[in-house]
Chain A
Amino acid sequence: MSLPQSLRTSVTPPELELIASEQLVEIIPLVSMERTAFISGAYGPLRPPTKCKIPLWMATNLKLKKKCHIVPPDWLNVEFLQERLARETSQPEFSQLPFRFAEVAKVLLDVASDDLQNPDKLRFLLKDLREARQAKSRDGLDKLDHSELSLPNLSSMEINEIRPFFVRSMGILTQLVREPSAGLADTS
C-alpha cells in the first residue's frame, strides 16, 4: 500500500527526529572542511577549533566519526532544566521549552553524552519533566470539548503522544453535539 497502516494515523517519533535533525547546532570541529553547498543551505568552512553552526544530522554524523565536539544548546544543562522542573511542578501551565526539545535532547544524549555535563542527571531531569508535563496534559483532557483546546507550550513529541487519544475523543464529542437531531429523527 502507498502508506503503511502504522503511518496513517500519526507521525512516528523517528520521523519527528528526522525533522528535528534539520535544526542547527554549534560544533567545535576537529577536522577542517571547505564551505560546502547542501540542499538545505551552505555550511562551513570548518576550521578547528572555530565554532561553526551545522545541522544536527551532520553534527551527529561527524560526532560518530569523532570529528567534532557538539556544543550543547543553552537549554540543555542541569541548572536550566532544574529551574524548569521547579516551575513545572509548582505552576499549573506548561513551562516554556523549545518545541522540539525532546528529540534534540535524545539525539544529543545518545551520540554526544561526553560533550554534555552530567548526562545522567540530565536524563533524570528530562524524565521528571516529561512525567510532570504528561500528568498535566492528562488533566487537560478535562477541558476538552468539541470545538477547541488550547495547548500553549506543548512540545512536538508530547503532541504526538497525546494525538490518537485526543483526536478520537474530540471526534466523539463532535458526534455527540452534531447528532442529536439525526438521533431524534431515528427514534421517532
Chain B
Amino acid sequence: MDLDDDDSFFTRNVLGGNPAPRQPAAPAAQRRASPDPFQSGPDFDVWTANRDSEDTQGETPLQQLIRHWMNERHAPDILPVQQTLLSGLLDHIRRQSDTVQILRSDPSSSEEDHFRIMLVQTEIERVKFIVRSYVRTRLFKIEKYARYITTNADVQSRMSATEQQHATRHATLTDEHFFQSVLRSLPAPQRGLDEAPAFVPSIVTLPDKTRAVFVHARVDCPPVRLPDGTTLEMEKGHISLTPYAVVEQLVARGEVELV
C-alpha cells in the first residue's frame, strides 16, 4: 500500500529518521480486551478474493447491488432475483448493527469510537435505503404483472419463492375483486380476464420489451441484432439507447448495465 508508505515516510521525517513502529488498533484492542470489532475481519478478505472472479470485475457486494438496483429500475421486465447477494448484504448490515450496539453500551468507548459508530451507522442507513428501493422496485413490477407471472414459468424462475407467492396472492385477490364488483353481472362469455383479441393489446399487462433503455457496456460485448436488421457490437464503455429486447441477454449475463 503506497498510502502506508507515505505514512511511515512522514513519521520518519518528523521523528528525525526513527521509523516509528506502527501498531494500528493496538490501544483500542487492549482497552476492550477483545479485538476491535470494526477491524477489517475475514469478511473483507473473502470479498477481496471474490473480486477476482470474472463476473463481478472487482466490484464489492454493495457495488453489485447498486448495479442490479439500477438495472431493475430501468428494465421493463423483471430481472433475476439476487438472493445470495441480498442475503449476504443483509447479514452484513445485521453484523454491523450488532457491533454498533455492543460499542454503544460499552461505557469505556472513546470519542473516536463514537465518531466511527456514527460513520458506520450512516453507511448502514445508506445501504438499507438501496436494499429497500431494490425490493420495492421488484414488488412494484410483480404487482403490475401479477397475472402474467402466474401463467409464465420463465418469469417465475427469475423470482424468489416469496415473490412468487405474493404474485399469486395478488393475482387471485384482484381477480376476486373484479369478479365481485363487476364481472359477475356480465354475461358469462365476457367474464374472462385473459382474452387476447386481435388488433387490441392483450388484457393481461405484459412487460413492454420494446421500450428503449440506456445501456452502458461493462466489457466488450458480442454483436447483437438490432430491430432494423443491422448488428451492433459494443466496446467497453460504449453508451447506447436501444430497445430492451436487443440487450436482454447482455443484461442477464452482466455484460452491460442499464444507466
With a cutoff of 8 Å between Cβ atoms, the chain B residues found around residue A185 in the complex are 199
Is A34's CB under 8 angstroms from B25's CB?
A: yes
When the two chains form the complex, which single residue of B3, B39, B115, B116 contacts A50, counting CB atoms closer than 8 Å?
Answer: B3
Q: A96-122: which residues lie under 8 A (CB-CB) from chain B?
A: 99
Distance of A14 Cα from B58 Cα, bound (Å): 26
Is B228's CB under 8 angstroms from A146's CB?
A: yes
**B198-214 toward A: CB 8 Å interface, digit per residue (1/0)?**
01000000000011111
**Is A135 in contact with chain B by the CB < 8 A criterion?**
no
With a cutoff of 8 Å between Cβ atoms, the chain B residues found around residue A36 in the complex are 38-40, 116, 119-120
Is A39's CB under 8 angstroms from B226's CB?
A: no
Distance of A87 Cα from B67 Cα, bound (Å): 31
Size bin of chain B's contact surface: 35 or more
Q: B3-40: which residues lie under 8 A (CB-CB) from chain A?
A: 3, 6-7, 10, 24-25, 28, 36, 38-40
* A37-B40 in contact given A2-B140, A147-B243, A171-B210 (Cβ < 8 Å): yes
Is B123's CB under 8 angstroms from A39's CB?
A: yes
Distance of A13 Cα from B47 Cα, bound (Å): 30
When the two chains form the complex, which single residue of A22, A58, A186 contacts B62, counting CB atoms closer than 8 Å?
Answer: A22
Q: B82-139: which residues lie under 8 A (CB-CB) from chain A?
A: 89, 92-93, 96, 112, 115-116, 119-120, 122-124, 126-127, 129-130, 133, 136-137, 139
With a cutoff of 8 Å between Cβ atoms, the chain A residues found around residue B130 in the complex are 18
Q: A17-65: which residues lie under 8 A (CB-CB) from chain B?
A: 18-19, 21-22, 31-42, 45, 47, 49-53, 57-58, 61
Q: How far is the CB of B45 from chain A (nearest CB, A)?
A: 10
Is B115's CB under 8 angstroms from A31's CB?
A: yes
Q: How far is the CB of A16 from chain B (nearest CB, A)?
A: 9
* Residues of A within 8 A of B (CB-CB), count: 58
Is B6's CB under 8 angstroms from A147's CB?
A: no
Pairs across A and B, CB under 8 Å, 12 listed: A8-B140, A11-B70, A34-B116, A36-B39, A37-B39, A42-B44, A50-B7, A51-B3, A151-B240, A156-B259, A174-B243, A185-B199
In the complex, the 10 A-B pairs of residues with the closest C-beta atoms, listed nearest first: A42-B40, A3-B140, A170-B212, A2-B139, A147-B226, A37-B40, A2-B140, A147-B228, A149-B241, A147-B227
Chain B interface (Cβ within 8 Å of chain A)? 3, 6-7, 10, 24-25, 28, 36, 38-41, 43-44, 47, 60-63, 66, 70, 73-74, 89, 92-93, 96, 112, 115-116, 119-120, 122-124, 126-127, 129-130, 133, 136-137, 139-140, 143, 199, 210-214, 216, 226-228, 230, 232, 238-243, 246, 259
Known: A11-B70, A170-B241. 12 other contacts (CB 8 A): A3-B140, A22-B63, A34-B25, A35-B25, A37-B43, A39-B61, A39-B93, A57-B123, A148-B246, A149-B240, A166-B212, A167-B241
Chain A interface (Cβ within 8 Å of chain B)? 1-3, 7-8, 11, 15, 18-19, 21-22, 31-42, 45, 47, 49-53, 57-58, 61, 99, 144-154, 156, 159, 163, 166-167, 170-171, 174, 177-178, 182, 185-186
